């Protein structure tokens, strides 16, 4: 047996206990960052999702598409506006967001997974009343109430829709929700993924990012954390060490774990086959958070 063959066998044997442990469980994957824009990483993500399905897991993909929305808005002569990281969404912006998320990005992800041998089905939060939302209330740093327009907060997840789809397919969820009035609302993809994982509840939730997990700064050296609990995550946040785009992820992690999800993972989506490395190997490639 050659050295290459030995490494292959070792990798397969290393994955075996994880496959056995997670057989039949649901894994929510929040897809974003470089993994969503790099053609090479897109292909690898699709391969990872299909393999998870083939070894008995039930992956559910949740995606946003902020950069694609902004790009399309600029092509139409519209200027994107943000408040504290939230896209201010008037009626015209909502139409563009819905068109891009549901009509373009979602279908591209579905097609990618299907080309790699999966059976993906695209769905938006409006379909089957999957994501029931109310307008999000936001207060800025000065204490002023800000009208974000058609930005939604998830009130309820219709898990029956996802359970039905996930039995034989890979659901791919575009994060557009519907209010009781029937109006469409844009929902932060991290938040939506956390709510979906909490409602199921999933075995685990994984966030693909452009950093290699959560960092710890002891004043002399900045290092990534391989594993921590919610208490430590809260301490980091209270100390101001978690900010920007990591804040909604941290909130979604807390929401999911407090609802019974066993673990949350913030991983570097720029790493080749990051999802498989995190789920099926000892080393992983990001930060694992447990309750």
Tell me the average pLDDT of the chain. 91
Poorest-pLDDT segment among 40-49, 114-123, 137-146, 203-212: 137-146
**pLDDT band at 19, cuts 50/70/90?**
very high
More confident residue, 184 or 220: 184
Q: Specify the long-range contacts of residues 46-51, CB closer than 8 Å, at least 24 apart.
A: 46/109, 46/112, 46/113, 46/115, 46/116, 46/118, 47/116, 47/273, 48/273, 48/274, 48/275, 48/276, 49/113, 49/116, 49/118, 49/120, 49/170, 49/275, 50/113, 50/116, 50/117, 50/118, 50/170, 51/276
What domains lie within the chain, and their CATH numbers?
Answer: 24-290 (3.40.1160.10)
The pTM of this model reads 0.93
> Rounded CA gap, 206 and 192, in Å?
13
pLDDT band at 33 (very low <50, low <70, confident <90, very high): confident
- Are the beta carbons of 198 and 261 closer than 8 angstroms? yes
Q: What is the percentage of the chain residues whose pLDDT exceeds 70?
A: 97
On the question of pLDDT at 122 being above 60, the answer is yes
pLDDT computed for residue 217 by the predictor: 63
208's enclosing H/E stretch is strand 204-209
**Residue 213: pLDDT over 60:** yes
pLDDT attached to residue 151: 94
d(CA 151, CA 251): 17
Identify the H or E element spanning 254. helix 246-258
Q: Does position 262 have pLDDT exceeding 90, yes or no?
A: yes
Is residue 277 very low, low, confident or very high in pLDDT (cuts 50, 70, 90)?
A: very high
pLDDT given at position 221: 61
pLDDT band at 82 (very low <50, low <70, confident <90, very high): confident
Per-residue DSSP letter, 183? -
pLDDT at 197: 98
What sign has the CA pseudo-torsion 71, 73, 76, 78?
Answer: negative
**pLDDT band with cut points at 50, 70 and 90 for residue 39:** very high
């Amino acid at each position: 047996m050659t050295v290459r063959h030995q490494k292959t066998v070792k990798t397969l044997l290393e994955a075996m206990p994880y496959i056995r442990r997670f057989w039949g469980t649901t894994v929510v994957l929040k897809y974003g960052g470089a993994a969503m824009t790099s053609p090479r990483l897109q292909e690898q993500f699709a391969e990872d999702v299909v393999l998870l399905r083939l070894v008995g897991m039930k992956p559910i993909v949740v995606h946003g598409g902020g950069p694609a929305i902004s790009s399309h808005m600029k092509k139409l002569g519209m200027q994107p506006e943000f408040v504290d990281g939230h896209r201010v969404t008037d009626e015209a912006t909502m139409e563009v967001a819905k068109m891009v998320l549901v009509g373009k990005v979602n279908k591209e992800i579905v097609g990618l997974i299907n080309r790699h041998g999966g059976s993906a089905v695209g769905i938006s939060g409006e379909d089957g009343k999957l994501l029931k939302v109310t307008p999000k209330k936001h207060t800025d740093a000065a204490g002023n109430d800000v009208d974000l327009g058609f930005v939604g907060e998830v009130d309820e997840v219709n898990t029956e829709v996802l359970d039905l789809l996930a039995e034989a397919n890979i659901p791919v969820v575009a994060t557009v929700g519907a209010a009781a009035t029937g109006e469409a609302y844009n929902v932060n993809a991290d938040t939506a993924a956390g709510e979906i994982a909490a409602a199921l509840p999933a075995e685990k939730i994984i966030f693909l990012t452009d950093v290699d997990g959560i960092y710890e700064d002891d004043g002399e050296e900045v290092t990534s954390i391989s594993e921590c609990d919610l208490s430590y995550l809260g301490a980091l946040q209270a100390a101001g060490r978690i900010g920007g785009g990591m804040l909604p992820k941290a909130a979604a992690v807390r929401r999911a774990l407090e609802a019974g999800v066993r673990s949350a993972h913030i991983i570097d989506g720029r790493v080749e086959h990051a999802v498989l490395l995190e789920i099926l190997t000892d080393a992983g490639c990001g930060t694992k958070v447990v309750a």
